Amino acid sequence: MVLRYAPSPTGPQHIGGLRTALYCYLLAQQNNGELILRIEDTDQTRYVEGTEEFIIEAVKWLDMSFTQGVHVGGPHAPYRQSERSELYQKFAQQLIDQGNAYYAFDTPEELEEMRQKLQESGVDQQTYNYISRQSMKNSLTLPAEEVKERIDSGEKYVVRFKVPTKEDIRFKDSIRGHMHFQSSVVDDKVLLKSDGLPTYHLANVVDDYHMGVTHVIRGEEWLPSTPLHVLLYKALGWIESMPTFAHLSLLLDPSGRKLSKRNADKHGIPVFPFDWFDEKSGETWSGYRESGYLPEAVANYIALLGWHPGTEQELMSMDEMIQSFSLERCHKAGAKFDLDKLNSFQQHYLRNKSTQDLGALVRAELEKAGIVISSDALLYGAVDLMRERITFAKDMVQSGAYFFEPPAEYHAKTVKKKWKAEPVEMLKEFTEELKAMAWDHGSLHDGFKAFVEAKEVGMGKLMAPLRLALTGAAGGPGLFETMELLGREESLARLQQAFVALPV
Ligand code: GLU
């Protein structure tokens, strides 16, 4: 089995493209197959600097390895189409020689005129096809010497595919079943542009054939091009080795529209794996990585956008997905993006990180925020107490900074409701007892319990002001565990600070 992911470097890698790459990867891994990363950069006018690197970084981020490709080399190098022009020219020539393609000299104005005319006469498809080609300037209508003269004199031309009239085009799509088209709906697409470079169609078919690709997985937007590709395989004599096609459903935003970057942005959904600064518009689009998502969570979540494993299990490691992936279980209908679900996956993967790994992620965020971590023990202890309460490592900056520095402010509502003269007096008394108490959470709990029982007040009455004094917050993980971690000296200092900062 040979699969390829063939993005065009015309913009940053969209999350939909990453899903395509992931499905290719899963299938290739499952079948011990080849996976190729090919860069389809034949449209030089749409080339965007930096996007090839972006694509490579993105597949690496999701931990997808390729057996061949622009970044790893391989037997079919080069894997960048702009470096393979000769090959495409050769096959364009073969198609011309066989009578399956022709030269066309029409200027942009003449093409526009044709479109206008067709539109005026009410023809739906304003295209260059088996009817309109007869009245245009091409090697089918012009005398052979004139064609030669025009080419020899350096006149600009394109090579168009001569779509056969009235031919049935059939192919099987692994997701959509048997597909059937009439060749009359296919127009005479340009194969070779006036700059000598191929269009996507020619380059794609030539490369898939030469690289021995057996399965083409790509987005639904390429389905309308497939009939032309089938005709090209036939004309080139390659129909026996034509790959199996699988066209994936579109990704939709929560309101059911295409997951374009603007639609997605309205719902707070990133569409790129990493932040991307668009030089043209001056806008920065946020990426999953910088938003704090873990690659495992993103991979697991996007795999389920359009594929169902057939069991109830949704949380899956890459290995599990490799085991159970199948194209037959991919949906035809569009897949709606659900940010809450992604976030629940994110929580799951974050919680299950080892203390060291999560500690490293949290450390980076705290340091970015200028928070000083005095010891690894404190960091790891805080991480273990907070892992159930955070979705992103950066959440620790907001909700767990107090492990590392005394509260700079106190939760106003709690101050108002719970920081009253009577409990504060009791807290001062309890502070004295703390000085001699054994400093582990069990003893602290028992000591606190004995204290409130002796005072005949509920635990809650003192617990809230105690937490407020120590952390500044209204809630958090186990208070006695937190105290144990902070240590006696720090806890007593914070209590003193609160008594001064919050007069009653
Ligand atoms: N270069 C096309 C793209 O950018 C690839 C389509 C295909 O996989 O055939 O999506």
Residue 459 burial by Cβ neighbours in a 10 Å radius (0-12, 13-18, 19+)? middle
Q: What is the pLDDT of residues 79-118, one digit of tens each?
A: 999 999 999 999 999 999 999 999 999 999 999 999 888 8
* Amino acid letter for position 488: R
Atom 3 of ligand 1, nearest CA residue: 7
Q: Do residues 69 and 59 lie in contact, with contact meaning Cβ atoms separated by under 8 Å?
A: no
Is a pLDDT exceeding 80 seen at residue 126?
no
Strand partners, 251: 335
Phi-psi region of 411 (alpha: psi -120 to 50; beta: other; left: phi over 0): beta
Is a pLDDT exceeding 80 seen at residue 125?
no
Q: What is the pLDDT of residues 145-164, one digit of tens each?
A: 999 999 999 999 999 999 99
* Amino acid letter for position 355: T
Closest Cα partner for 308 from 34, 61, 23? 23
Instruction: Determine the pLDDT at residue 43.
Output: 92
Catalytic residue among 189, 261, 353, 418: 261
Q: How confident is the prediction for the chain on average, in pLDDT?
A: 96
Instruction: Determine the pLDDT at residue 118.
Output: 86
Cβ neighbours, 10 Å, residue 104: 23
Q: Which atom of ligand 1 is nearest to the CA of 200?
A: 1
Instruction: Determine the pLDDT at residue 119.
Output: 86
Q: Do residues 246 and 175 lie in contact, with contact meaning Cβ atoms separated by under 8 Å?
A: yes
Question: How confident is the model over 119-141, as a mean pLDDT?
Answer: 89
> Of the residues 4, 24, 204, 226, which should be mutated to test ligand 1's pocket, given the most ligand atoms within 8 Å of the CB?
204
Atom 2 of ligand 1, nearest CA residue: 7
Q: Which atom of ligand 1 is nearest to the CA of 5?
A: 8
Instruction: Determine the pLDDT at residue 289.
Output: 97
Residue keyed to tokens 């494993």: 309
Tell me the pLDDT band of 121, cut-offs 50, 70 and 90. confident
Q: Does the beta carbon of 6 lie inside 6 Å of ligand 1?
A: yes
Tell me the pLDDT band of 24, cut-offs 50, 70 and 90. very high
Closest Cα partner for 132 from 87, 184, 70? 184
Ligand 1 centroid distance, CA of 218 (Å): 7
Q: 302-331 in b/e burial notation, b at 16+ Cβ within 10 A? A: bbbbbbebeeeeeebebeebbebbebeebe
Is a pLDDT exceeding 80 seen at residue 59?
yes
Q: Which atom of ligand 1 is nearest to the CA of 217?
A: 8
Is a pLDDT exceeding 80 seen at residue 386?
yes
Q: What is the pLDDT of residues 222-272, one digit of tens each?
A: 999 999 999 999 999 999 999 999 999 999 999 999 999 999 999 999 999
Residue 270 dihedral angles phi and psi, to the nearest 5°:
-70, 145
Question: How confident is the model over 270-290, as a mean pLDDT?
Answer: 95
> Of the residues 22, 40, 79, 230, which should be mutated to test ligand 1's pocket, given the most ligand atoms within 8 Å of the CB?
40
Known catalytic residue: 336?
no
Q: Does the beta carbon of 8 lie inside 6 Å of ligand 1?
A: yes
Q: How far apart are CA 206 and CA 409, in angstroms?
A: 66
Specify the pTM.
Answer: 0.93
Q: Do residues 250 and 220 lie in contact, with contact meaning Cβ atoms separated by under 8 Å?
A: yes
Q: What is the pLDDT of residues 305-321, one digit of tens each?
A: 999 999 999 999 999 99
- Least confident span in 13-22, 257-266, 416-425: 257-266
